[in-house]
Every structure is written in C-alpha cells, then in structure tokens.
Chains A and B, each alone.
Chain A
Amino acid sequence: MSQPEVSYELRAQAPEKPVSSSFGSKLLSSISAKSVGLIVPAALLLLWKVAADRVWAPPQFLPPPSTVLRTFGEQYDSGELFTNFAISLGRVAGGFAIGALFGLVLGVAMGLSRTLEDYLSPLFRAASQVPVLGWLPLAMMFLGIGESLKLVIIAHASLVPVAMNTLKGIQSVPRQYVEVARAFGFSNSQLLRKVIFPASVPSMFVGIRYGITQAWLSLVTVELLASSEGLGFMIVWGRQLLQLDLVLAAIVIIGAVGLTFDKGLALLEERLLRWRPKNSLQGGHA
C-alpha cells in the first residue's frame, strides 16, 4: 500500500467521472436494483391484504387495500382530493415565498453588515431556539385559526433555515477571494455580483431546500391542529369518522408531495450549480 497522500494525489488526477459502461447494461442493472426494492412493499401489501381478508383486525382499524384504492378513486372523482391538495399547496407556496424572501433579505443584510448582525443576530438566534411547533399556540391566540395563521407559521418555518444558511454562506466566502477582487479593483456591486453571491449560492440553496421541507412539515402540523380544509384536515376528518382509508390516502399524497419537493429541488440545485467544479469547494477551504 502506498502512503495516503500519494493515493489522494492519484485520485485528484484521475478523471472525475468513471468511464461509463454501456447505457443498456446500466439500465438493466438499475432495473434489477429497483425491483429488489419492490419486494418489501409487495410483501407488506400482501400481508395487509391477508390481514384484512381474514379480519385480523376490524375493518375500521385496518381497511383492506382495495377500500383505500376505492376511496382514493372516489376522492379523486369528486374533486375533493384535488381541492384539499390545491389548498395545502397554495398555503405552502404563499408561506414559503414570504418566508424565503424575508429570510434571504435578513441573511444577506446580516452577512454583509457586521453592525446589523450585531443588532439582530442575538435576538434571531434566541428566537430560533424555539421550534415552530412551540410558537403555534401563541400564534393561534393572536391570529385565530384562519388563513393568516397558516401563512405566518409556514413563513416562519422557512425563514429561519433560509436566513441562517444565507448568513453562513456569505460569512464563509474565503477572504482571499475578496482580496483578489479588491486587487483587481472590483467595485462593491461587482464584488457582490461576481464573488460573494456566487460563492454563497450553494449554502443559500441548502437553506431553501431545508426551508421547503420545514414548510411542508409545518403545514401538515398546522392543518392537523387547526384547519377545516387541506390534506392535514383530511387526515383528522378521516380519523374522526374512523375512515382509515381516507387517512391513508392523505398520507400517501403528503409523502408524494414531500418526495417531489425533495427530488425537484435536488435536480434544480444540480442544474444551477453545474458551473461549479466538484473539487473547487474543498480546494478553497483547505
């Protein structure tokens, strides 16, 4: 075995991506890998069906899969599902837009001005120690349980991670970059546009991704606690009527939306940060 340092050098010189095998064989192996992953869900589904058929538990406690599917279809046909889905999505979009905007502004402002950071960050950090869930009863007292409560809670949930990560991103721009830019006589706006902003985008994006996840989680929570429409309400409603088929249908959609947000943002991040060579990050901080 060679020394570790040597092996790192070798790795650095090697091409970034391994020479890809033929498309067909990759597809084939990915299909077989995926189908292995289907065994467990299939087994669970089978177990569920058998358990429901043999009535191991009363149908109110364990509705058969076919009922869940039928409820799903009925909800879809009646438009109920879409209405609740659209309401939840609208709330997240509105709340997240407000929260992310304020978060970005706050993060950029604190990142660029030490004075402002001195004034605002202690309070901000103290307030962010309390999770969104902790503020909920207080917010309900002031705002009631209407639409503004949902917007404020979701905005708050997305603001904190966006602001934190933006601040961190700007503060961790290597000082050398700024010095080089100054040496080249960059103006302040050039410095912002060409150095500080691009260097802190990855961190901002982490904040945005995390913010959306938090926004979705908070939406579901606030709808479970105080709402008369939306996916979270569908769950509460189904629970009250002991219609678990309705509960399960809503859970599936909540999971699907969560997955879409996560994957969609990961793709977007990859696209937006394509210009950035993979190793530059490590190189800059070493």
Chain B
Amino acid sequence: MSEALLAPSAPPLDSRSAWQRSLSFRRGLLVPGLILTAWIVSTHYGLVNKHLVAKPGAVVTRAIKEATEGGLLVNLLASLQRDSIGFVLGALAGVAFGGLLGMSNLSNRLFSPTFHAAKQVAMFAWIPLLSVWLGTGEQAKVIFIAVAAFYPIVVNTQEGIQGVAREHIEVARAFDYTRWQILRKVVFPSALPSIFAGIHTGLIYAWLGTIGAEYLLAPGFGIGNLMIEGRESFQMDKVLLGVIVVGAVGATINLLASRIEQYVLRWRVTAFEARQ
C-alpha cells in the first residue's frame, strides 16, 4: 500500500482487494453470458434464420469434428507455415534494410523517401499486382507476408539505430573501440528494444497478411480458405470456428512476442529504475 502511495502513476489495480478483483471478474462474464444466452434461446426457438445462424452447439461440434478429423489442423499448419516463412524472410530483409538506413546517412537520403511513399499504399492493394508477376500460388503468398512484416521492422530498426545516444558512441570512441565493436557493443544493444518493437508489429502484420493472402490468392489450405469456404457454403459454424482460431492465433503470437521481448531485454534497466 505505501508503495502505491509513493508511486501514484503505478497501475491502480494493485491496491484493490481480492474481493474487488473477483467482483470485477464476475462482472466481465455478464455481457458474454447474456449474448450466449440470447444466441442459444434465439436459435433454439427458431427466432432467427436457421440457415444463417448456427446453434452454439453446432460450432462446438464443428470444432471437435474439424479438430479430430484433421481438417482444422491441416489448414492451421498450412497458415502457420507460410506465416513463419514469410515473416522470417521479411524480418531478415527488414532488419538489414533498416540497419542500412539507420547507419548510412547517404542511403537514408537515397532510399527513405521511396520507402515511405511505398509504405503509404494500403498493403493488400499490392496483392493483385503481385499475383500477376508471381502467380497466385504459395510463392506469392509467402512474398506478400514477407512484405507485410518488412515495413514495420524497417521503420523501427532505423529509428532504434538513429536513436542511439551520441554520447555513448563518443565514449566508445574514446575507449578506442573498432567500428565493429561499436556496432556490436553499443549500437546494437541500444537499438534492440526498438528492433523488437518492430519485430512484434511485424509478427502481427504477417499474421494479418497471411489471412489476407489466403482470401485473395489461389484457394488452398489455410485458415483464411476455411473461412471463405464456410461462407460460400453458408456454414456459419465453420466461419465462426475460423474467427475464433484467427483470434486465438493472433493473441498467442502477441503473447509469445511479449514474453520473448521481456526475456531478451531483461538486462535492460528502465530510466525510472536507473534514477533510484
């Protein structure tokens, strides 16, 4: 309690009692509960078009069926595979290009305007163009995902490197560090948090790009395809299962990225702690 008083900008959540926290948890269940009830009641008594709105039970059955018969797994694995290949390609290219822009003033002035102009185009608008050049198969999908991840990683890598305090580099110079040492021991560690922020955003964009590429390019295996199929055959349970899986995968990627970020950057002392 006394700590909370000393640092008033700390999240107020800590000061609440266990009872209050459990109350707010139970309150959070009310609205979803109401929606679920309305859904069950309306589908049970036929208040809504039963061809359009699936019963909650049907979604569960569908989930179990798709999961056990392997359909869901095949689609999910296909999506995750192209997502990760595309992301890795995009991230490698992004860190390299962002590093170049951040470290070389000349290349920054040469390439940044073109890069920022291209960045303004909403990313899915590139898909039809890419499809002409690369076809509509796996290759086009993976390259599009790489492009989606590339943008935020370039921006954050460049910002991170440009944000390295000049004093730190001067100190390193005074200690006669070689260029390579400066890069490895000063520039890279201080740019790392920003690079990670870019990688985090890149992961999210890559997942979005995966779904978008599956919608817009050739049919094949993938969560996006599962949903499109479900929509075309009016199987709402299938579509809804897709929605849930897309959200769950997105949330998992997000969580994993934060955890890895925390772990890799655990050596970092924040400005607030440093001043104490």
Residues of A within 8 A of B (CB): 1, 4, 7, 33-34, 36-41, 44, 60-61, 114-115, 117-123, 126, 129-131, 133-138, 140-142, 172, 174-176, 216-217, 219-221, 224-225, 232, 235-236, 238-239, 242, 244, 247-248, 250-251, 254-256, 258-259, 262, 285-286
A236 to chain B, nearest CB (A): 6
In the complex with contacts A37-B109, A118-B23, A221-B212 CB distance below 8 A: yes
Q: Smallest CB–CB gap between A112 and chain B, Å?
A: 14
Q: Which segment, of B61-69, B153-161, B183-191, B241-249, faces chain A?
A: B241-249
Interchain CB contact (< 8 A) of B122 among A117, A119, A216, A285: A216
CB-contact partner of A119 in B30, B125, B248, under 8 A:
B30
Interface string of B110-143 (1 = CB under 8 A from A): 1111100110111111111101110000000000
Chain A CB within 8 A of B27 CB? yes
Which residue in chain B gives the minimum CB-CB distance to A117? B24
Residues of B within 8 A of A285 (CB): 9
CA distance A114 to B13 in the complex (A): 11
Residue B250 CB within 8 A of the other chain: yes
Distance between Cα atoms of A235 and B178 in the complex (Å): 51
Contact of A224 with B125 at beta-carbon distance under 8 Å, contacts A40-B110, A122-B32 already known: yes
A1 touches B171 (CB 8 A): yes
Known: A142-B52, A217-B122, A250-B125. A1 touches B8 (CB 8 A): no
With contacts A40-B111, A142-B52, A259-B117 taken as known, whether A224 is within 8 angstroms of B23 at the C-beta atoms is no
The reply to whether B247 and A244 contact each other, CB–CB distance below 8 Å, is: no
> Given the complex, which residues of A lie within 8 Å of B128, measured CB to CB?
224, 235-236, 238-239, 247
Is there contact, CB below 8 Å, between B131 and A239? yes
In the bound complex, residues from chain A placing their C-beta under 8 Å from that of B129 are 235, 239, 244, 247-248, 251
Contact B114 A40 (CB under 8 A): yes
Alpha-carbon gap, A81 to B134, bound state (A): 27
B246 touches A134 (CB 8 A): yes
**Which residues of B lie under 8 Å from residue A138 when comparing CB positions?**
227, 231, 236, 239-240, 243
Q: Choose from A37, A131, A175, A216 the contact partner of B112 (Cβ within 8 Å).
A: A37
Residues on the A chain within 8 Å of B247, using CB: 126, 129-131, 134
Closest B residue by C-beta to A260: B120
Collect the chain A residues with CB atoms within 8 Å of residue B32's CB.
Answer: 122-123, 126
* Complex contacts, A40 vs chain B, CB 8 Å: 110-111, 113-114
Q: Shortest distance in angstroms between A235's beta carbon and chain B's nearest beta carbon?
A: 5
B216 CB within 8 Å of chain A: yes
Q: A138-B240, A142-B52, A239-B131 are in contact. Are A251 and B121 (CB under 8 A)?
A: yes
Pairwise interchain contact B167-A134, C-beta atoms closer than 8 A: no
Check if A134 sits within 8 Å of B120, measured CB to CB: no
Knowing A34-B113, A122-B28, A220-B122, the reply to whether A61 touches B216 (Cβ < 8 A) is: no
With a cutoff of 8 Å between Cβ atoms, the chain B residues found around residue A61 in the complex are 132-133
Decide: A120 and B31 in contact? CB cutoff 8 A. yes
- Contact bitstring B6-25, A, C-beta under 8 A = 1, else 0: 00110010000000000110
When distances are taken between beta carbons in the complex, the residues of chain B under 8 Å from A117 are 24
CB distance from B109 to the nearest CB of A (A): 4
- Contact of A262 with B120 in the complex, beta carbons under 8 Å: yes
Pick from A34, A119, A137: contact of B28, CB under 8 Å: A119
Residues of chain A within 8 A of B231, CB atoms compared: 137-138, 140-141
Taking a contact as CB atoms under 8 Å apart, the answer to whether B124 and A41 are in contact is no
Q: Smallest Cβ distance from B194 to chain A, in angstroms?
A: 18
Q: How far is the CA of A220 from the CA of B113 in the complex (A)?
A: 23
Alpha-carbon distance A39/B230, docked complex (angstroms): 49
**19 extra interface residue pairs, beta carbon distance < 8 Å, beyond A129-B250, A251-B125, A258-B121:** A36-B109, A39-B110, A40-B114, A41-B117, A61-B133, A122-B28, A123-B31, A126-B247, A129-B247, A129-B248, A130-B244, A134-B247, A137-B231, A138-B240, A175-B12, A217-B122, A235-B125, A244-B129, A258-B122
